Amino acid sequence: MAKLFGKTLLSLVAACVAHGVTLAQDLDQSFREAVRMYRTDRSAEGLEKLKELVGSGPSQEQAFELVKATDAAVWQLLLSQGGDTEQIARHLMGLATMARKQMSRDDAAIRGLIGGATSDESVERRKAVAQLAADHGEFAVPALLEILGDADQSKAADRAMLTIFNIGRPAVMPLIAALKSDNALLRRNCAAALVEIADRRAAAPLAWLAATDTNEAIRDVAERGLARLGVTRGTSAVELFQKDAEAYLSGVGVREGDRSEVVWTWKDGKLAHADVPASLYSFELAKAWAHDAVRLDPANEANKSLLARSYLAQVAAIKQSAAANPDDTVMQELANAEGRLKLVAAAMGEDVIARAVADSIAQSQSAVAIEAIEALGGTQGAAGNAALVAALDDVDANVRYAAALALSQGNSGAEIPSAAKVVGVLAQAVAEEAIRSVLVVDANPVTQKVAREASARRGISVAEASSGKGAIADFYSFPRYDVVVVSDTLRDILPEDVISLIRSRAPATKVLLLTQSDESAARFEGKVDGVIKVEGSLAADALVAQANEVAGEIDARRAGANKVAIAAAHSIVKLAREKVNVMAAADSLAAQLDRDDAVAIPAATALGEGGTLEHVAKLAALVTGESGSEGLRVAAAEAVGGILARSNAVPDAVFDGLLAIARNEEAPLALRSAIVSSLGRGKLAPGARSQLAAALAMVAQAGGGEG
């Protein structure tokens, strides 16, 4: 049995509190002692010390001071340990991040420093300005703009402007938002600040001011800013908003140091900010710039497509992040609200969404294209269908699959455009499968043979490394294994070295120790995610089962492959029942019969609608065997009937095998009934029909006895 580690942090804290654990020493001292234990190969003791530390309930402020005073290499050491150690380290770092966030937004502290920054004392000014820039950044801008918009504070305004210059690039986005103020003095001062900072992000807003502001002085300042940024005089603001929105959408428009967790708007006469996950920040900017482009040129179809794509890109990013991080409450809340984001795209109309499909494909934005395809849904008109048919030839298989599914679900029968191509794409989609990757590191040839046997199972790929150094080389070229099984008998390198590399290169990868020794299992406790204790010989089924158990759910991106296969199988069933020829998908469907029921059952049903006598033998073998579930065997029996109904004869071997099950009173009644019904649909000889009638009578008798 695999011994798994990794209690939740909540349970760790609860356990510590329940046992009345308190820290007798200073927090920093306890932390340093724990780190020393990890560095001297006493990780079990170090973990206990960290558990005590967490159990004491350190505040966000304490965690902030701890993180600030600790070298980054120490945190990397703890994170590389994995398991509970990694969880505790991330918890402490998370507390510090929350403290830093709250401190940066402390309005009272900001206003106190602004008092110093605008004072007559030069030393106080320099100190306050430096602290505002370092500790508060963009959050100091709203209070500074109150001064810059007040004509009665001209002396303080000069010093407030100098403070904004010192804040620099972090001040750019709130300054841009304030350009929409009704206060002409404030607009001019914000534009002047943007000219001085000379950040390319201000180009489109300054071009808009230069072209539309009613105040000549503001237009002059904006023109000066554009010249400094190298923008040709008279360049269209719409063109700049569109170009920048495309850059933000593609992820290249935001320098890493400029990424924020808030977006700024001008609302009710003042700056307002809204929290956003950093991973969605560039999409928020794309949305804002696209909105401005549409506002300035509402008839421009490219702008409307850009706006729709910006919202759909954010939907795609939220879906992926929420699926990959089920414990991220912020992303889960956003996932629940994604319908509201889709409404903006829907408001653009079907023609615009159809264009968004084409534009996304042209920009190699496959995730956005898929969202746009799904947004077309079952309402495709001529434009929608044309966009989907074109998407059937995309280089990205997932785009092709989404288009084929949309076309099959949004149309019926003879109305499906390019029906043959749709069936061909669905035949590829039904074969998609989430594969879990495992690496087994052991020089033992018996273990290597077991690894090869395990790789023959569906849904798993098992690679072998006969040495620790070989495993390290393999991992450098492919650091994406779900599970690595490391033997404690490696001779060329310590198992700890292999494990350490995995922890540092791929923290999400799970590690299993392969051993025959209880002592070895105890020695690696806390360093691995589980133990495969071998008693006798290792079996392939045991290896697969324990790898699957420790790995948990497969990652969201690959799990999507199974969802695609299921949807494709059901779509093929639908098409077949609408008299679309699905024979081109039959071989692919037959190859899915040994998968999980979610795929295998609709595949069998679809095969019954579009298969030939060539596929009957495989279906019949599934019916007469015992490997499949009752539901799958019934579906296979019914599929046999669909094929036999279209054929001129019933193969003798198929008839005899199925009839034997129908006569077997120990077989499930639903299965026996499905067999009798299916054989009855075939063209049977008179003697065979008589045997079937006898079997039918037995079924009725068995049914009465079983009831």
Judge contact between 486 and 495, C-beta under 8 A: yes
| Identity of the amino acid at 543 | L
443 Cβ neighbours under 8 A, 6+ residues apart: 466, 467, 487, 489, 490, 491
Secondary structure of 531-572 in HEC code, one letter for each residue: EEECCCCCCHHHHHHHHHHHHCCCCHHHHHHHHHHHHHHHHH
Paired with 436 in beta bridges are 460
**Which pTM was predicted?**
0.74
Query: Which residues of the chain carry a pLDDT beneath 70?
Result: 1-25, 378-380, 555-557, 695-707
Quick one: pLDDT at residue 603?
93
Tracing tokens 């081109």 back to the chain, one arrives at 584
Phi and psi angles of residue 29, each rounded to the nearest 5 degrees, phi first: -65, -45
Going by C-alpha positions, the residue among 410, 399, 404 that lies closest to residue 585 is 404
Quick one: pLDDT at residue 167?
93
Which structure tokens are listed for 647? 């054929």
Quick one: pLDDT at residue 697?
63
297 Cβ neighbours under 8 A, 6+ residues apart: 238, 303
Judge contact between 127 and 114, C-beta under 8 A: no
Which structure tokens are listed for 304? 């409307």
C-alpha 193/C-alpha 171 separation (Å) is 9
Tracing tokens 């509970």 back to the chain, one arrives at 84
DSSP, collapsed to helix, strand or coil, labels residue 514 as: strand
Going by C-alpha positions, the residue among 641, 640, 646, 642 that lies closest to residue 622 is 640
Secondary structure of 23-35 in HEC code, one letter for each residue: CCCCHHHHHHHHH
Quick one: pLDDT at residue 700?
56
253 Cβ neighbours under 8 A, 6+ residues apart: 201, 244, 246, 247, 282, 285, 286
Q: What is the CA radius of gyration of the chain?
A: 33
Quick one: pLDDT at residue 130?
93
The H or E element that residue 67 is part of is helix 60-69
Taking only the tens place, the pLDDT of each residue in 660-674 is 888 888 889 999 889
First CA to last CA distance, the chain: 41
Judge contact between 604 and 593, C-beta under 8 A: yes
Quick one: pLDDT at residue 506?
79
Quick one: pLDDT at residue 180?
95
Q: From residue 22, give the alpha-carbon distance in Å to each of 18, 32, 51, 207, 668.
A: 11, 17, 11, 61, 62
The H or E element that residue 62 is part of is helix 60-69
Quick one: pLDDT at residue 379?
64
- Dmax (CA) of the chain: 112
Quick one: pLDDT at residue 17?
41
Paired with 484 in beta bridges are 439, 511
How many other C-beta atoms can be found within 10 angstroms of the C-beta atom of residue 204?
Answer: 27
Quick one: pLDDT at residue 18?
40
What sign has the CA pseudo-torsion 116, 119, 122, 125? positive
Tracing tokens 């800013």 back to the chain, one arrives at 225
Judge contact between 606 and 637, C-beta under 8 A: no
C-alpha 74/C-alpha 39 separation (Å) is 10
Going by C-alpha positions, the residue among 412, 366, 365, 367 that lies closest to residue 385 is 412
Tracing tokens 């019949």 back to the chain, one arrives at 620
Going by C-alpha positions, the residue among 261, 193, 263, 198 that lies closest to residue 226 is 198
Judge contact between 168 and 134, C-beta under 8 A: no
Quick one: pLDDT at residue 23?
38
Give the DSSP per-residue string, 218-245.
HHHHHHHHHHHTTPPTT--HHHHHHHHH
